[in-house]
């Protein structure tokens, strides 16, 4: 299931919005040179918030990364994997963290990003 707030935005509109983000020079830059290997957990900045995502593949010439997005839970850093596929190509520039550590919660259906507050602060500084 696609995130409801993003259903009205197509891929092109999201890609056009990314370069206009204000970047704070004190914020640690995204490591664009780093290879984003399949099955790596990352955090992706979107229009309304950031989402944990699993890297599926990377397209070097287009600077795109194919990811499988997780559904956000009710509290910061808590998420679950959707019952259907939520796979999209995103710009490498929208990747705000490549070191996302997750831990199972509530019997394994829910997961928690252990450094969610740091990622959230970084996301807010980019807005």
Q: What is the CATH number of the domain that holds 87?
A: 2.30.30
Closest CA to 117 of 70, 50, 66: 50
Query: Residue 126: in which H helix or E strand, if any?
Result: helix 116-126
- Give the position of tokens 């989402």: 51
Structural domain span for residue 50: 4-126
Residue 12: partners with Cβ closer than 8 Å, 6 or more residues away: none
Residue 10: partners with Cβ closer than 8 Å, 6 or more residues away: none
Number of folded domains in the chain? 1
pLDDT in tens, 25-37: 344 444 445 678 8
pLDDT in tens, 2-58: 554 444 443 344 334 433 333 333 444 444 456 788 999 999 999 889 999 999 987
**pTM score:** 0.71
pLDDT at residue 54, as a whole number: 93
Q: Render 62-113 in DSSP notation, one character per residue.
A: TTEEEEEEPEE-SSTTEEE--SS--EEEEEGGGEEES---EEEEGGGTEEEE
Mean pLDDT, the chain, integer? 76
């Amino acid at each position: 299931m696609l995130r409801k707030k993003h259903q009205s935005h197509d891929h092109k509109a999201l890609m056009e919005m990314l370069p206009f983000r204000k970047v704070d020079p004190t914020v640690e830059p995204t490591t664009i040179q780093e290879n984003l290997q399949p099955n790596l957990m990352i955090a992706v900045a979107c229009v309304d918030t950031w989402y944990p995502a699993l890297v599926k593949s990377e397209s070097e010439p287009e600077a795109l990364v194919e990811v499988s997005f997780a559904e956000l839970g009710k509290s910061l850093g808590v998420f679950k994997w959707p019952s259907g596929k939520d796979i999209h190509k995103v710009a490498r520039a929208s990747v705000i963290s490549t070191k996302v550590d997750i831990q199972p919660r509530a019997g394994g259906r829910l997961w928690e990003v252990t450094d969610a507050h740091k990622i959230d602060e970084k996301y807010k500084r980019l807005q």
